A and B are shown apart, each in its own frame.
Chain A
Amino acid sequence: KAGVTQTPRYLIKTRGQQVTLSCSPISGHRSVSWYQQTPGQGLQFLFEYFSETQRNKGNFPGRFSGRQFSNSRSEMNVSTLELGDSALYLCASTSGGRNTEAFFGQGTRLTVV
């Protein structure tokens, strides 16, 4: 059974640019959550998508957005990149039910210069 796939693995962008990250969940899983991991703040919840709808949202500015497609694949977009957006962006896949195990991908390491 394939795991959670995130692409690309590494990205280097310039301040002011925008970026799109992709996540394919485990087959059969319908929920995708996104997290930002930095050395200073640890893992912080961005948002969750279930059945193409945003079901939950963390405390990040509107520059961070996402969407989910009918095949449960999800994309996350960050516009007007800032240096502080440099981080490991992780996607977690769950079956979609409440209180279920979350499985993470390998992450996309974004560096903003």
Chain B
Amino acid sequence: QKEVEQDPGPLSVPEGAIVSLNCTYSNSAFQYFMWYRQYSRKGPELLMYTYSSGNKEDGRFTAQVDKSSKYISLFIRDSQPSDSATYLCASGGGNNRLAFGKGNQVVVIP
């Protein structure tokens, strides 16, 4: 079992819709969580960093962590065509070694 599971299925949404992405993790030692956005042929770009359970909001992006169920989510409000990318969740446990999900390819249709 991978430490971080992310259903890699592609997701297509119309412009303006809410995008909802989810991951689960199995390692109880994981303490911090990140979401990255990766455009084709580019490196991952850090979107959100969270350390505790609860919600963290940054503009149109909201990251949600539930440590009791080992569940992490990313919501993108008012999605734009420029949000079309692959989104990766990552978890870490204090040794700077990140475990990543497989990524979700999101397409926002104008």
Contacts and interface: CB of A to CB of B under 8 A. Distances in A.
A31 B96 contact: yes
A104 B96 contact: no
B32 A99 contact: yes
B106 to A, nearest CB: 16
A105 B43 contact: yes
Contact of A42 (B34, B95, B101): B101
B103 A48 contact: no
Contact of A45 (B43, B44, B98): B98
B98 A42 contact: no
14 contacts: A33-B96, A45-B98, A45-B99, A56-B95, A98-B94, A98-B95, A99-B51, A99-B92, A99-B94, A101-B46, A101-B49, A102-B90, A107-B42, A107-B43
